[in-house]
Amino acid sequence: MASYNRYIGYGYGAYSTTATAGNTTGTVSYTTTTAGFAGTVSSTTAGNTTHPYLSSFLFYPSPETEEQKAARLEAQRVFDLEQERLRKELKQAESKAEALLKEHIGLEAFGRLHQVGYIEVDSQKYAGRKYRVPKEKRNLIEVLDGEGRVIDRLCVHPTEAYPIGDEVLARIVMLKFAEEEILKIANHTNRNPVVV
């Protein structure tokens, strides 16, 4: 008899099999006393069942013991508690970021940001140019010329994860006080991007 253990999910499944020596090609056929196993086993030497190589098989795990079930449930409980703690921290951080953004851009601009999905920032360097800063993280900053046409799109994000309010405010501050720098570091989507 040969017994095989294979890690599946939270526990190990044990499978008892009986081996019958195969033909001269080195194939050993296996049957099982555990329902759910099917396949062929090949070995380096005909009839050698010491180190078989399972070429095709289907395993079903053995039933959990009470100890395994208790350990799994406890691990899930700890995981759920940690996820809830992180969700609360994220919600608090997002609320603080929104309040800070509203304080810096004003109530009117804040309302427009949430209504249309972006806020426009006038260029400090190029006459007539505007930057359209989105409120969504995945969206790009659009560069508009004096006639309101999109002439470029800028992809720029912080190197670490921040609440969306902080990210929007950081983009606005950079465009107002470090316009040349943001144009240099951003990825430009146009073939002929605007440059400093």
Does residue 75 sit in the same domain as residue 94? yes
Does residue 50 sit in the same domain as residue 78? no
List the domain range (segments joined by +) for residue 68: 64-196
Give pTM, 2 decimals. 0.57
Per-residue pLDDT tens digits for 154-163 = 998 888 888 9
Mean pLDDT computed over 34-38: 42
CB 165 within 8 A of CB 101: yes
Please say if the pLDDT value at position 2 is more than 70. Answer: no
57, 83, 103 - which closes a domain: 57
